[in-house]
A and B are shown apart, each in its own frame.
Chain A
Amino acid sequence: MTRSSRLTHARQFGTVLGLVVLSSVLWALTPHFFTVPNLLNVAQQTSINAIVAVGMTFVIISGGIDLSVGSIVALSGVALGAALQGGQALPVALAIALGIGVICGLVNGAIISWGGLPPFIVTLGMMSIVRGAALVFTEGRPVSGFDPLFRSLAAGHLGGVPAPVIATMAVYLVAHVVLTRTTFGRYVYAIGGNEEATRLAGVSVRFHKTMIYAVSGLVSAMAAVILTARLNSAQPIAGTMYELDAIAATVIGGTSLMGGQGSLAGTLVGALIMGVLRNGLNLLGVSSFLQQIVIGAVIIGAVLIDTVLKRHRN
């Protein structure tokens, strides 16, 4: 085991321990937390952020950032809604939604790679452009009222497990394999670790970077499908600040903002910590203002652990 992978493992252990302790505390504090319906609620409530965070993890490991994910959720969602209302078959509507997500991601990646601009600037601009496009397209109004087949994507169950949770598990499984078992996955780490060296090794950094942002766009569109089915409505203002939740889940999960390090398992646990916290604070009747303080503290605390850990190892 290399030193950096040992680091990742130790860090993940810390995150998992954090989740376990947090859950135990909530279990002790309220009888409503550790029940099957509530835990399924937590899983379902975490699913959207968890899926968006998959793309964010790819992007952050490669040393970038994607601020446009929330806006992509909105645009893919309203496109999906409009397609369904326009009488398109479900597979066609889904293809349109996912296609829009991928296109947004490709545009992000292409401008970053070939334009040579910082990801922060490009995705900040796209965040505004894509949000604006969603508002223009819908004239600011939500698109709502879909048939039960589509809604079953959020409301359906398989063996008691809600459909969004199954979708989340599937996305994580596939993405984990891509990140750890494919050449593309190795390049994601390599680009984040040392972009110049990767380029000199003969890897087409531009192409792979573009693909990384396309992944982010694709999973954002998947999150949009679940969100739209869950609310039975596609809102052009949906997904506002999702980028921050996704970054938080990724960072709590131990992915370094410096790039080159991180894992999807960590991100999933990070997303779960945020979901459990929000759920638990609701159950305990903690005010929404205090919730924001607690969540902020968790983000800083997690990164603090990360930093102290690194200092110890070096």
Chain B
Amino acid sequence: MRKLTVVFVAALAASVLSCNRAAPETTDKPKVALVLKTLNHPFFVDMRRGAQEAADRLGVQLEVQAAEREIDVEKQMQIVENMIQTGIKALVITPSGSREIVSALVKARDANVPIIIVDTRVDEKAAAEAGVHTETFVGSDNYEGGKLAGAHVVNVTGGKARVGILEGIPGHETGDSRLRGFRDAVKDAPGITVVASQPANWERDQGFNVFQNMLQAHPDIDTVFAASDLMALGAIEAIAAAGKTGRIKVVGFDALDDAKKAIAAGTMDASVAQFPSEMGKAAIESVVKAIRGEKLPASIMVKLEMVTKESLVRR
């Protein structure tokens, strides 16, 4: 039995060793942690690519980690604690919870690790109370993006629509800002009514289920705004299943490749494009400046763009 345990652990050790070979520990390059919400979402995969390219160019050793599940802020906190132990020179993070992450940032502050926030803002009040200072925020203005989507809906429907909204996980700053922007943009169009608004937790399958139910309750919905493309893509499947393809306009957010395909095919109307790889790039460039001791602006905004069939053709 003992022999078996030893063999088993040795095998484990060997596998860990072989994983480790990819990331040598001895290097003069400053080590920087990039802690993402998840790595199984195209948005964060793109962000990682942009960050990695910038890191290679600028001579930064980048360690990328993410929790197994996007909602698991406690795991994200563990990752931050563990990365601090490895002597990182800076922490770049996309918080899984705007308030919850502050407890982890306190630990970074105590270790004198400069913090750069990407994509999702940290709750300002909670950060101020905890005495956490962040170097800068890199992201797109989700509120402006929501407004862009709202204005687009007003524009293409001629100001008359019955809208169903698919929300992200409640309490996420990203989704809340997008929704606020959208609502503010359609507020002044009297012909536009939001008939239903429910969370589908950023997920494609939930987008399908929630919208299917929404359509059941409100068969007169003619426009969908989803706070992310994955949920929008789920809604498109639900629309197809109901045999209503082409009769309901779908507007999403993120301009994922799948969404662009759907827009080109005409099953989706538009999506707000963010540029996650640009965010990753800007974050690493900021890191290098922060390590050099340069002062950074309070926020660095990455552009937003409305992707429609026309804009795809233009390209």
Tell yes or no: B280 within 8 A of A by CB: no
Cβ-defined contact, B79 with A282, below 8 A: yes
Among the 9-residue stretches A96-104, A166-174, A204-212, A289-297, the one with 4 or more Cβ atoms under 8 Å from chain B is A289-297
Closest Cβ neighbor of B198 among chain A residues: A140
Q: Which of A18, A25, A283 contacts B86 (CB 8 A)?
A: A283
Q: Point out the residues of chain B lying under 8 angstroms from A288, CB to CB.
A: 39, 65-68
Q: Give the shortest distance, in Å, between A289 (CB) and chain B (any CB).
A: 7
A140 to B167, CA, bound (A): 12
Q: Which of A45, A233, A238, A298 contacts B78 (CB 8 A)?
A: A45
Tell yes or no: A144 within 8 A of B by CB: yes
With A237-B169, A283-B82, A305-B1: A231-B100 Cβ-Cβ less than 8 Å: yes
Cβ-defined contact, B171 with A284, below 8 A: no
Tell yes or no: B72 within 8 A of A by CB: yes
Tell yes or no: A35 within 8 A of B by CB: yes
For B154-185 the 0/1 string (1 means CB < 8 A from A) is: 00000000000000011100000000000000
For B72-116 the 0/1 string (1 means CB < 8 A from A) is: 111001110111011100000000010110110000000000000
Cβ-defined contact, B78 with A278, below 8 A: yes
For B48-72 the 0/1 string (1 means CB < 8 A from A) is: 0000000000000001111111011
Tell yes or no: A38 within 8 A of B by CB: yes
Cβ-defined contact, B81 with A41, below 8 A: yes
Among the 9-residue stretches B14-22, B138-146, B263-271, the one with 4 or more Cβ atoms under 8 Å from chain A is B14-22
Q: Which of A37, A282, A287 has the most CB of B within 10 A?
A: A282
A30 to B79, CA, bound (A): 16
Tell yes or no: B195 within 8 A of A by CB: no
Closest Cβ neighbor of A281 among chain B residues: B16
A280 to B9, CA, bound (A): 14
Q: Which of B1, B66, B73, B125 contacts A309 (CB 8 A)?
A: B1
Closest Cβ neighbor of B99 among chain A residues: A144
Cβ-defined contact, B74 with A230, below 8 A: yes
Cβ-defined contact, A231 with B77, below 8 A: yes
A30 to B16, CA, bound (A): 11
5 contacts between A and B (CB under 8 A): A279-B78, A283-B82, A285-B65, A304-B8, A309-B1
